[in-house]
Structure 1
Amino acid sequence: MPPTSNEWPRLDALSKRQQEPKMSRPVIDPNVPNVARIYDRFLGGKDNYEADRAAAAEALRLNPDAARCARGNRAFLGRAVRFGAESGVRQFLDVGTGFPSMGNVHEVAQSVHADARTVYVDYDPVVVQHGRALLATDEHTVMVEEDLREPGRVLEQAAGLLDPGRPICVLLVACLHFVTATEDPYRIVKRLMRSTAPGSFLVISHVIETPKTIAAVDAYQGASAPVVLRTETQIDRMFTAAGVELVEPGLVRVPLWRPDLDHALAEEDAARVDFLGGVGRKA
């Protein structure tokens, strides 16, 4: 059971090993399209190169709603974080965070709880560098370099700031569709949630297999990671594997997950956004 005291344990600074870049990983080649930078381009960011812009343009040619999907997914992230914070969670683990953008996790969480703690995780050293400069700006927020395919190492890194005895909101937003069947996304979510306390949340968004997304996958050929399309049943099974129960409204197109705007407008947007999202709670 999580501690009943409202007092936070003393902050445990992350080790020097965690803060240093992993020299074993090569510097990202700007001539190779990178999935984080392509996503950044869709969101209107500037952290991308010509190869990324070309890949994004091709994706938009094949699926004109690709950028709309990215924006809808980003908005879902913000609503899910707010939901977790308003449900009492004050710790957030954002795995596969990508480049900083509007409405970053720690900003949303701290708008509800000023002392909310956030650990951002990404395996891309360029993303990590940007994150440490723009996201990790206070003692409650850190950025670590690690690969979501190694969930044990992710948890080890996060333990420098997050207390596993208290609920954690684990965020896997728009990243599991870069994990292949061989790499086993079900294993990843199960391992991450196994170490969390009751009352924790799992947030997942994932591109769904449709004619439009099948066409757009071609734009990611030769990029830094493949896109793996999955069905609604396959995505839903991730929550089951993690041992969590979906909260209302369940697994839905991301504009329909507790929308801020008029429901009719959300439904209109959802018809064009091929991302499913949901939030599960650990009993």
Structure 2
Amino acid sequence: MTGELGWVPPEIDTTVPNPARVYDFWLDGDHNFAADRALGEQILKIMPGVRDAARLNRAFLRRAARFMVDSGVRQFLDIGSGIPTVGNLHEIVQQADPSCRVVYVDREPVAVAHSELLLQDNESCLVLQADLRDVDDIFDGAGKLLDLEQPVGLFMLLLLHFVPDSWDPMGVLARYRDRLAPGSFLAVTHVAADSGTERLDEAIEVYMSRQGRQNQPVPRTHDEVLAFFDGFEVVEPGVVGCAMWRPEGAGDMSDDPAINSLPYAGIGRKP
């Protein structure tokens, strides 16, 4: 890691790669360790476009956040928020309206520790350590900053493909939907099983070989990702390749059509 290690929780084994830190490496962030960089480089040799896919996901975050602000939302809940890096959700929405409030949630202690460090002087942000499935605890904690009777922008970016079917992701999402106020939005990105990206299966095998039984990716088809929006009104243009969700310029696209569709992206509104 290129920064100071003093804030890293002592129980963290920095020799084991972590999805959030590998993602941070692909975004050229500073909050990753040698093991994360080694795995990230190994996957880049198999799929050089994966760094572009990470960038496209970050660009979608920006567009989705601005869309929600333009739709009147002023409070946000980011589940699986990961390591803070350039273009964080709070930076985007508070630039649009300084009154916006953001709650970040992650189960990774390093992500939480550094988020707390980054946000210690921002009274409009809160960081929680919790698992996606801890819905009641998350809403109880978020309620300390957010008015949950009002619409919330809920983000789950590059998260749900780490949720195995045995966890009943549809049931988990239904619990979030039921707790959200009408007018709330859900933003999702998810690795596509049917994007036609070459060597995706090989890259996943390498990833899984370094992760053990935890954090194993589960790519899903378009129809499976669309099903996560059950009970929401899907916003146009629907669930599409990440780069195709309302791109604003060439920087929101890749030269590789398969990479443009590698993460699916979509936004739904709770009626």
Provide, for residues 174-193 of structure 1, a one-character-per-residue CA deviation record: whole Å limited to 9, x for no partner: 11111111112112211112
Q: TM-score, normalised by structure 1?
A: 0.86
Choose which of 248, 251, 254 in structure 2 pairs with 1:260.
248
Match of 2:3 in 1: none
Unaligned runs of 5+ in 1: 1-22
Letter of the structure 1 residue corresponding to residue 207 of structure 2: Y
Distance of 1:262 and 1:48 partners within structure 2: 29
Distance of 1:63 and 1:271 partners within structure 2: 11
Letter of the structure 1 residue corresponding to residue 241 of structure 2: R
Are 2:192 and 1:208 equivalent residues in the alignment?
yes
Off by >6 Å, runs of 4+ in structure 1 = none
Are 2:270 and 1:282 equivalent residues in the alignment?
yes
Match of 2:259 in 1: 272
Choose which of 183, 191, 203 in structure 1 pairs with 2:175.
191
Distance of 2:171 and 2:147 partners within structure 1: 22
Deviation at 1:262?
4.8
Are 2:92 and 1:112 equivalent residues in the alignment?
no
Choose which of 132, 143, 155 in structure 2 pairs with 1:148.
132
SS of structure 2 residue aligned to 1:162: coil
Distance of 1:139 and 1:177 partners within structure 2: 32
Contact 2:39/2:207, CA 8 A, preserved across alignment = yes
Provide, for residues 11-69 of structure 1, a one-character-per-residue CA deviation record: whole Å limited to 9, x for no partner: xxxxxxxxxxxx9xx82211111111100110001211111111111111221111111
Deviation at 1:212?
3.3
Aligned-residue sequence identity (percent) comes to 40
Note the 1:98-247 alignment, pairs <5 A: 98-209=82-193, 210=196, 211-221=198-208, 222-223=210-211, 224-240=214-230, 243-247=231-235
Distance of 1:262 and 1:76 partners within structure 2: 13
Provide, for residues 71-120 of structure 1, a one-character-per-residue CA deviation record: whole Å limited to 9, x for no partner: 10011011101100111000100000011111111111112221111000
Match of 2:78 in 1: 94
Distance of 2:67 and 2:44 partners within structure 1: 31
Deviation at 1:147?
0.8
Provide, for residues 241-272 of structure 1, a one-character-per-residue CA deviation record: whole Å limited to 9, x for no partner: xx101101111111111111059x83745432
Deviation at 1:135?
3.2
Matched residue count: 256
Deviation at 1:219?
2.5
Distance of 1:270 and 1:165 partners within structure 2: 41
Distance of 1:153 and 1:282 partners within structure 2: 21
The verdict on how the C-alpha distance between 1:164 and 1:235 changes in structure 2, with shifts beyond 3 A counting, is: same
Match of 2:6 in 1: none
Query: Which is further off, 57-66 or 89-98?
Result: 57-66
Are 2:67 and 1:83 equivalent residues in the alignment?
yes
Unaligned runs of 5+ in 2: 1-8
Deviation at 1:136?
4.6
Query: Which is further off, 82-91 or 105-114?
Result: 105-114
Distance of 1:256 and 1:81 partners within structure 2: 16
Q: TM-score, normalised by structure 2?
A: 0.89
